[in-house]
Amino acid sequence: MAADATEPRPTRARARAAATIYDVAKLAGVNPSTVSRALTQPGRVNAGTEARIREAAAQLKYRTNPMARALPTGRTKTLGLLIADITNPVIFGIVRGAEQAAGEFGYTLVFAESQESGEREARSAERILPAVDALVLGTTRLPDERIRELAEVKPVVVLNREIQGVSTVTPNLEPGIDQALAHLEMLGHTSLVFLAGPAESWMSRRRWDALRTGAEARGMTIASIGPVEPTIDGGRGALARVIASRATAIIAYNDIMAIGLLRAAGEHGVLVPGVFSILGFDDIFGSDFTSPALTTVRSPLAAAGRYAVRKALELAGAVEADDAAAVEAATLETELVIRGSTGPARAV
């Protein structure tokens, strides 16, 4: 039976409008300006009044609007974090540390992924920049000049890369690399290969320079293969070139590449560390799940994320520089973690 054309259609329940600062003021019996001071600047009003206002806000489920708050203060209490690849476990530690520091200072952290594309990263930066107080670039693929342009608009801090005129946070590579080379030297390795990361990666070039200098000082030979895609497949695809090099120890740009190479070796019956040893960089989550477990140079990822956010907030004028931050910056050092993927060099 057809419905009567005059029969009223069912309507969706209308969502209840969000409470406003005026609703809180009315319920608490104070002026809206007093509500604003109580909720955004604790201690500026009488303790009893502040408690009454907070109780009213909780009862009404009132939430402050950071964009509205930004109008008089010029601050959104929001930070942006741009990353190259959300699936890269290196990002986990950085994001966790950054989120901890942002939360400590009452900031919200928003992030965008560029999928290893500098063009996509540039577009994301342009979208995010007006809505944040500062920007942290993690594993950035932008050219130096573009980053300097962003830094002219808002405070910018760059992770794992040094750029003249821009604030950067980079770990001290030398301790971890020196320990790695000493470990290989003790095991009798004299012929090394570095699996290089992306051609545009500052950190890949920096690791190569440090490895080459350190290896030559120890009388070791070292060659570079790459650039190699910084993925499992990238490491897997490098196996033939690694075998052809006849090197006894392979140092990959990151743990993911090292794991890919380790898997490919196992699939082709190449013993690790019997035929060659493998080392990675970063000590990502899961690097000890492989068989054999991966020897790697650990980077202080979470500490770097925390310090980058702290530095960004200092540049934005949101926090004061202090000794604690300086102490944390001084602890950003790498260290070797020895596991089963390294062993005595084979006789060549």
Q: 116 near 60, Cβ under 8 Å?
A: no
3-state helix, strand, coil in the chain (%, to 5): 45, 15, 40
For residue range 216-239, what is the model confidence (pLDDT) as tens digits?
999 999 999 999 998 999 999 999
* pTM for this predicted structure: 0.74
pLDDT top residue among 1 and 302? 302
Average pLDDT taken over every residue of the chain? 86
Lowest mean pLDDT among 57-66, 136-145, 279-288: 57-66
pLDDT top residue among 184 and 110? 184
Amino acid 4: pLDDT = 46
Write the CB contacts of 4 (distance below 8 Å, at least 6 apart in sequence). Answer: none
pLDDT top residue among 9 and 317? 317
Domain 173-298 bears CATH identifier 1.20.1580.10: no
Amino acid 16: pLDDT = 57
Q: 290 near 306, Cβ under 8 Å?
A: no
Sign of torsion over alpha carbons 37, 43, 48, 52: positive
Question: Which run of H or of E encompasses 52?
Answer: helix 47-60
Domain with CATH 3.40.50.2300 in the chain: 78-170+302-317, 173-298
| Structure tokens, 134 | 């500062």
Amino acid 335: pLDDT = 96
Burial letters 279-290, b for 16+ CB under 10 A, else e? bbbbbbeebeeb
What percent of the chain has a predicted confidence (pLDDT) above 70?
Answer: 87
pLDDT higher than threshold 60 for residue 5: no
Burial class (CB in 10 A: 0-12, 13-18, 19+), 165: exposed
Amino acid 156: pLDDT = 93
* Mean pLDDT, residues 161-166 taken together: 88
Question: Which run of H or of E encompasses 326?
Answer: helix 323-330
| CATH top-level class of 78-170+302-317 | alpha beta
Amino acid 129: pLDDT = 84
pLDDT higher than threshold 50 for residue 65: yes
CA proximity to 98, closest of 73, 122, 132: 132
Write the CB contacts of 247 (distance below 8 Å, at least 6 apart in sequence). Answer: 191, 192, 193, 223, 276
Amino acid 2: pLDDT = 45
pLDDT higher than threshold 60 for residue 9: no
